[in-house]
Amino acid sequence: MGEILGLGMTHYPPLVGVDENMAHILKTVLKDPGLPERYRDPANWPEPLRREFGDDGGKKSAAVHRAELVRHFRHARKLLDDFRPDVVVIWGDDQHENFTEDVIPPFCVLAYDAIEARHRPRDTAAPNTWNETAETVFRYAGHRAAGKFLAARLIEQGVDVAYAYTPLHHAGLAHAFLNTLLFLDYDRAGFPYPVLPFQVNCYGRRVIAQRGYRSSLANPIPEADLDPPSPSPKRCMEMGAAVARAVRESPWRTALIASSSWSHAFLVDKHYQLYPDIPADRRLYEALARGDWDAWRQTPLAAIEESGQHEMLNWFALAGAMEELGRKPDECEFVETWTFNSNKCFAVFRP
Ligand SMILES: [Fe+2]
H-type helices in the chain, by residue range? 24-30, 47-53, 59-83, 121-124, 144-156, 175-184, 233-248, 278-289, 293-297, 301-306, 313-324
* Cα 262 to averaged position of ligand 1 atoms, centre (Å): 10
* Cα 103 to averaged position of ligand 1 atoms, centre (Å): 18
* Cα 286 to averaged position of ligand 1 atoms, centre (Å): 23
37: number of Cβ within 10 Å: 7
* Cα 58 to averaged position of ligand 1 atoms, centre (Å): 22
* Tens digit of each residue's pLDDT (9 = 90 or more) over 19-72: 999 999 999 999 999 999 999 999 999 999 999 999 999 999 999 999 999 999
* Cα 307 to averaged position of ligand 1 atoms, centre (Å): 15
Q: State residue 132's pLDDT score.
A: 94
* Tens digit of each residue's pLDDT (9 = 90 or more) over 293-310: 999 999 999 999 999 999
Give CA separation, 153 vs 143, 166, 243, 252, in Å: 16, 20, 8, 14
* Cα 95 to averaged position of ligand 1 atoms, centre (Å): 6
pTM score above 0.85: yes
* Cα 212 to averaged position of ligand 1 atoms, centre (Å): 8
Q: State residue 125's pLDDT score.
A: 81
User: Domains of the chain (ranges plus CATH)?
Assistant: 4-349 (3.40.830.10)
* Cα 66 to averaged position of ligand 1 atoms, centre (Å): 18
